[in-house]
Chain A
Amino acid sequence: MKLALKVTEVETLSPLVKRFRFEDPTGAELPVFSGGAHITVEMPEGDIIRRNSYSLISDPYDGSAYEIAVRREDQGRGGSLYMHTKVSEGDEITVSTPSNLFQLDLRARKHVLIGGGIGITPFLSQLKQLDMEQKPYELHYAARTRDEAAGLKLLPEAAHIHVHISDEGARMDIGAILDGQPLGTHVYTCGPEGLIEAVADQAARLNWPETAVHSEAFTAPPPGEPFDVVVKSTGQSITVKADQSLLEALEEAKVKVEYSCRGGACGRCQTKVTTCDGRILHNDHWLSEDERGAQQDIMPCMSRFKGTRLELDL
């Protein structure tokens, strides 16, 4: 479902990060949501519509507005640049209803939230939910420099909120954070791949159950070299441009593919590959190692192709 909203605030949080606030133009209440949820924002440019998903950072039980924080990726496909350069207060903007691939497990006795860089965003709504639910938690926010740490302006000052700035010699010590946590603690990580792996490794070393370790890595699709794709049912050949995802190219060619997160995490757009003369560049977090190796499935929202012929069962 889609919502036609209005941009009511744009704030620069750091040289690279802006905060956006969206409200219903008639003042109607928006659907409330759960901590860790995201929305997909439509960015129309000429004939094409780019869609990126962003974590909601506002109060999940407050229907008066949705807020997101967007980091400018100069090497990206242009979605974040669009948000930074083309969107201003008063503009109309179309977003999806919230959905959640990174929800809190409310069974936990305690929640440990670890955010690196822009990966702080999903925790901003989660900590509001944890406050309202009166659940014990601690949050760790790691950034390289204080200047880069856009999240500082959005975090409350509290004893259980810890900021680790590596340039100031306060590098985050994951082992120290996880060691000695009470039984029944769940840990959630969002940020660079390396951080997610480091937390998972450390948790495994400390014998945490796998089901108590959660992460969200979904990011915008990476650009790459252009390639061609063939639609099996029609024989149509479509070129995927360097700054376009395969999903976006299919949509531009009016080929219908189901999607939700557009970040390789939800599994919704999984598509069968009928011919693959070459190598699929899997960039998703959905397919297993075996599935990646088999090259019989692709996640068009994230993944690309290098080779002579890629044909999809569409």
Chain B
Amino acid sequence: MTMHFNDETFRGDYTYHNSPEAIRRFPFPFDQDSYMYSVNIEQHPGGPKGTPFEFKFDVDEHYVAEMKDREITLAEDPLRCQSLPHMELAGWDLLELIMVSKARDYPDLFTLHRDGNDWHWINKPLGIEKKFTFLDPTTLPCGPMEYITRQTQGDFALLHERDGNLWMDAGMVTSQADWSLDFDVGMNFFEWHAPVPKARKMGVFDKALKFLLAVGQGQHYRRLNWTMTVNPRLDTSPENYHKWGPEKRTITPENVGQKQFLRVELQTFFRLPRSNALAFPIRCYLANLEDLAIVPKWGRRLHRVLRDIDPDLADYKGFAVNQETIVTYLSQFDDGAPTSPGIFPDA
């Protein structure tokens, strides 16, 4: 397997782009023509070959550029990566999970040799080769969670279980949909979800927490979430709202197809063995409306979903201000024909 990595940016000149293959494998989140919250959880990994669901940790053409973007964000704001002192063990668990999975699933890109606790890690795309002692933090240049998540796409939250709740006690968060690790660190499941409209009343969080607490070793799950972002920007953080918030006002009927992106989060859950913590990777995928509409089913469906969505959700997901422009643009792809069930393109 060889993989081409895009030379692209997620800020400034925004040269981010999807190849035709990347569009076709995009994790389109809507399995029907309307949207409301649900605890839409499936087993992970597992899915058609080539999709982002095939392996525990998906590596795609944006890998190298995303890691460069993370480096920039961290250099400007080191608090995007935090780990409370009791979470170091969970960091090692996460490092093991990712290194073992990537070396197995992408043998051309990653290699891991283990002799007891003497480990030798080779990351070819990023040009990293490192010998270190597992569980000995003095042998890595930074903490284990930071070390491995500087080499893995997506944000990461490590959740500590105690008192019948989950606590966000560590994380690496640089490609987030407008939430802040520095604000949420140390909060429990209900506290960090407090801004989400409607869901608490619907009982969604009670059910979700009960489910997460019952996740056992060796059982991994995923769900898809989504929002809308203007320009292909990974770092849509509250800290930098002054940089990206005003960009929402740059949408016009002429540029909406290229500038308006559907932002999809592939959220996965893993119980970590030594720490009994839960790892919660949140992987971000971006595609603009023009590219999505290349798949006829997605063009039709996206139009219907965004046209009929609950106004509170349009507001929460941050696109209410451009909803009319978006829906008008998408209407050209909706001929009223029925769409097939499920998220994947028609063959």
A32 touches B216 (CB 8 A): no
In the complex, are the beta carbons of A100 and B276 less than 8 A apart? Answer: yes
Partner of A266, one of B214, B217, B274: B214
**Chain A residues positioned under 8 Å from B273 (CB to CB):** 31-34, 98
Complex contact A98–B86 (CB within 8 A) = no
Q: Is the beta-carbon distance between A33 and B274 smaller than 8 angstroms?
A: yes
- How many A-B pairs have beta carbons closer than 8 Å: the answer is 50
B21 to chain A, nearest CB (A): 34
Q: Which of A103-111, A151-159, A293-301 contacts B (4 or more CB under 8 A)?
A: A103-111
Q: CB distance A268 to B217 under 8 Å? A: no
Are B276 and A133 interface neighbours, CB within 8 A? Answer: no
- Per-position contact with A for B170-205: 1 when CB-CB < 8 Å, else 0? 000000000000000000000000000000000000
Q: How many of chain B's residues touch chain A, expressed as a range?
A: 10 to 19
Cβ B86 vs Cβ A107 within 8 A: yes
Given A33-B273, A34-B274, A34-B275: A105 in contact with B162 (beta carbons within 8 A): yes
Is A274 an interface position by the 8 A CB rule?
Answer: no
For B269-288 the 0/1 string (1 means CB < 8 A from A) is: 00101111000000000000
List the B residue with the shortest CB-CB distance to A270. Answer: B210
Q: Give CA–CA (A113, B35) in the complex, Å.
A: 50
Complex partner residue of B216 from A211, A260, A267, CB under 8 angstroms: A260
Contacting residues of chain B (142-164) with chain A, CB-CB under 8 angstroms: 161-163
Asked if A97 meets B217 with Cβ closer than 8 Å, knowing A107-B86, A133-B89, the reply is: yes
Q: Is B328 an interface residue, CB under 8 A from the partner?
A: no
Please indicate the chain A residues that have their CB under 8 angstroms from the CB of B135 in the complex: 132
- Bound form: Cα–Cα A266–B89 in Å: 24
Residues of B within 8 A of A211 (CB): 162-163
Q: How far is the CB of A216 from chain B (nearest CB, A)?
A: 14
Is B127 interfacial (CB 8 A cutoff)? no
- From 11 to 45 in chain A, residues with beta carbon under 8 angstroms from any chain B beta carbon are 31-34, 37
Q: Does B252 contact A (CB under 8 A)?
A: no
Are B218 and A61 within 8 A (Cβ)? no
A195-222 residues at the B interface, CB under 8 angstroms: 211
Give chain A residues whose Cβ lies under 8 Å from the Cβ of B274: 32-34, 60-61, 129
- Kindly supply a per-residue 1/0 record for chain A positions 88-116, scoring 1 wherever the CB is within 8 Å of any chain B CB and 0 otherwise: 00000000111110010111000000000
| Residue B219 is within 8 A (CB to CB) of chain A in the complex | yes
Query: Which residues of A245-268 have CB atoms within 8 Å of chain B's CB atoms?
Result: 260, 266-268
C-alpha spacing A125/B119, complex, angstroms: 25
Query: How far, in angstroms, from A269 to B273 measured CA to CA in the complex?
Result: 23
User: Residue on B with the closest CB to A105?
Assistant: B162
A1 at the interface (CB under 8 A from B): yes
CB-nearest residue of chain B to A108:
B86
Residues of B within 8 A of A34 (CB): 273-276
Shortest Cβ distance from B90 into chain A, in angstroms?
Answer: 9
Give the chain A neighbours of B214 by CB distance below 8 A. 260, 266, 268
Instruction: Tell me which residues across on chain B come within 8 A of A132, comparing CB atoms.
Output: 135
Interface residues on A, range: 20 to 34
Taking a contact as CB atoms under 8 Å apart, the answer to whether B89 and A98 are in contact is no
State A33–B162 Cα separation when bound (angstroms): 17
Residues of chain A lying within 8 A (CB to CB) of residue B89: 106, 133
Q: How far is the CB of A182 from chain B (nearest CB, A)?
A: 17
- B162, B210, B217, B275: the one contacting A31 at CB < 8 Å is B217
Give min CB distance, A232 to chain B, whole Å.
Answer: 22
A127 to B44, CA, bound (A): 33
Partner of B217 from the list A61, A99, A103, A267 (CB cut-off 8 Å) is A99
Whether B217 lies near A98 (C-beta < 8 A) is yes
A1 touching B162, Cβ below 8 Å: no
How far, in Å, is A37 (CB) from chain B's closest CB?
A: 7
**Complexed CA–CA distance, A268 and B89 (Å):** 27
A105 to B274, CA, bound (A): 13
Chain A residues within 8 Å of B85, by CB: 107
Shortest C-beta distance, B137 to chain A (Å), equals 12
A300 to B7, CA, bound (A): 58
Chain A, residue nearest B164 (CB): A267
Chain A residues with CB under 8 A of B276: 34, 37, 100, 103
Chain B neighbourhood of A97, CB < 8 A: 216-218
Residues of B in contact with A (beta carbons under 8 Å apart): 84-86, 89, 135, 161-163, 210, 214, 216-219, 271, 273-276
Q: Please name 9 pairs of A and B residues whose Cβ atoms are closer than 8 Å in the assembled complex, sorted by A.
A: A1-B216, A1-B218, A31-B273, A33-B273, A61-B274, A96-B216, A106-B275, A107-B85, A267-B210
Q: A98-B217, A103-B276, A133-B89 are in contact. List 10 more A-B contacts (CB 8 A).
A: A1-B219, A32-B273, A61-B274, A98-B273, A99-B271, A100-B276, A106-B89, A107-B85, A107-B86, A129-B274
Interface residues of A (CB under 8 A from B): 1, 31-34, 37, 60-61, 96-100, 103, 105-107, 129, 132-133, 211, 260, 266-268
Closest 3 CB pairs of A and B: A106-B86, A34-B276, A1-B218
